[in-house]
Amino acid sequence: MPTLVLDREYFVNVFRDMLPFVDKESEHLQQLDSAIGDGDHGINLTIGFREVTKQLDTINEDAADISTIFKKVGMLLLGKVGGSSGPLYGSFFMKAGKDVTGKNEVTFDEFCGMLLNGIESIQLRGKAELGDKTMIDAFLPGAEVLKQDSPEDPVEKFTAFVEAMKEGAESTIPLIAKKGRAMRLGERAIGHKDPGAESAWMMMEVFLNRLKEAVSA
Amino acid sequence: MVNNAQSSVGIILVSHSQKITEGLKDLILEMNGENVNILSAGGTDDGRLGTSATIIMSKIEELQDCENILVFYDMGSALLSAETAIDLLDEDLQAKCKIIEGPIVEGAFVASVQSTITNDIDAIIEEVSKL
């Protein structure tokens, strides 16, 4: 199999898919967040990605490279989302684009590197550790998969990445929260999945779905 | 936008609620005779509850002529957004900004009163830390 190359259209399509995805999952995320957070995670992401969708064509026309597209998307999330997921996901996308300046296509390995940069920025920004009941509990196990050598089939690796994140999100259920509003709930947070960890793996699944398409094309 | 050319201290207020930061700004201006450089940076871009790194960033930029800019926040994502905003600024402006730990109402009040009598930023921060 030749090396998989992802062009800017792939990323634009992923960003285009984000709004229908968050719309569909909004209720689910809302329920998780109502249990231990302030109940606005679903609606916040919807508002953020609604703005991204609105501006995506213009962003795509104006952007010189993939890096700029990611930076613009990240900036919109910073301004619109409102909750902690705003600066966290905003930083994620902005930093994911930092090493691909001037590029309009990236290899699969470069793409994995972009996501690792994004994950690192979430860690730096939120200062959460593994087990704090945050999106880091999903992202860090995922990062371990991304750091491994890529097998022949990129979809296999990316599926393993999303699976590791999904398991990470599940692992937050029995935890006491160390960050955010849920931290104030003490043991009351036990038994509830962290909404940020849940939206994190789900967003990465949007990348996966388009990746499957890119590979089969 | 700098109200007082004498004062080289700027104050930025960050909260999920724009009403909180607007109200606090009004209170502080009232108590200092409009003599301080203070801006409200609460709420999201579209005025909902929440914080916005891009709003905070543009408010800090409005105070760029100040020698020092103190950023007060209340809770939740206010700190995350304030840190993100500062990261996005030019290095020169970044160096002027300090995020202050402490109660936003009393802290911003103390800092604003101090800013009318001194430009010594360490002394101002020291006063706030006594709260």
Give the pLDDT confidence of A127-157 residue by residue, as tens digits. Answer: 999 999 999 999 999 999 999 987 889 999 9
Whether A120 shows a pLDDT value over 90: the answer reads yes
Across the range B41-62, mean pLDDT stands at 94
Amino acid A1: pLDDT? 54
Kindly report the CATH number assigned to the domain that includes residue B90. Answer: 3.40.50.510
Cβ contact A87–B44 (<8 Å): no
| pLDDT of B3 higher than 70 | no
Residues of B in contact with A75 (CB under 8 A): 54
Q: Which of B16, B17, B54 to mutate to test the interface with A (most CBs of A within 10 A)?
A: B54
Q: What is the pLDDT of residue B2?
A: 53
Query: What residues in B contact A84, CB-CB < 8 Å?
Result: 76-77, 80
Res A2: pLDDT: 64
- Calculate the average pLDDT of chain A: 94
Query: B17 is in which domain, residue-wise?
Result: 9-129
A169 touches chain B (CB under 8 A): no
Instruction: Between A117 and B2, name the one with better pLDDT.
Output: A117
pLDDT computed for residue B67 by the predictor? 95
Alpha carbon of residue A179 to chain centroid: 19
pLDDT of residue A37: 87
- Considering only CB atoms, which chain A residues are within 8 Å of B50? 40, 44, 81-83, 86
B49 a catalytic residue? no
Q: Is the pLDDT of residue A210 over 50?
A: yes
0.90 exceeded by the pTM?
yes
- CA–CA distance, A22 with A13 (Å, rounded to integer): 15
Question: Is B76 in contact with A180 (Cβ distance < 8 A)?
Answer: yes
Task: Provide the percentage of residues in chain A whose pLDDT is more than 90.
Answer: 87
Q: Which domains does chain A have, with CATH numbers?
A: 5-216 (1.25.40.340)
Q: Per the domain annotation, does B70 fall within a domain?
A: yes
Q: How many domains does chain B have?
A: 1
Residue B76 with chain A: CB contacts under 8 Å: 38, 83-84, 180-181
B100-121 pLDDT per residue, tens: 999 999 999 999 999 999 989 9
B2 occurs within a structural domain: no
Q: Touching check for A75 and chain B: CB below 8 Å? A: yes
How much is the pLDDT for A183? Answer: 86
In sequence order, what DSSP letters do the residues of chain B get, joined into one string?
--S-TT--EEEEEE-S-HHHHHHHHHHHHHHHTT-SEEEE--S-TTS-SS--HHHHHHHHHHTTTSSEEEEEE-STHHHHHHHHHHHHS-HHHHHHEEEEPS-HHHHHHHHHHHHTT---HHHHHHHHHT-
C-beta of residue A46 within 8 angstroms of C-beta of residue A26: yes
Q: Does A183 touch chain B (CB under 8 A)?
A: no
Residue B105 included in any domain: yes
- Within-domain flag for B4: no
Mean pLDDT of A60-70: 97
**B41 close to B25: Cβ distance less than 8 angstroms:** no
Band (pLDDT 50/70/90 cuts) for residue A40 is confident
Residue B1 belongs to a domain: no
Extended beta strands in A49-169, E state: 105-107
Beta strand B68-73 with B37-40 is unpaired
Query: Is the pLDDT assigned to residue A22 strictly greater than 80?
Result: yes
pLDDT of residue B112: 95
For the residues B75-93, what does the mean pLDDT come to? Answer: 94
User: B5 pLDDT exceeds 50?
Assistant: no
* Closest CA–CA distance from residue B49 to any residue of chain A (Å): 7
Within an 8 Å CB–CB cutoff, is residue B77 touching chain A?
yes
* Complex ipTM value: 0.86
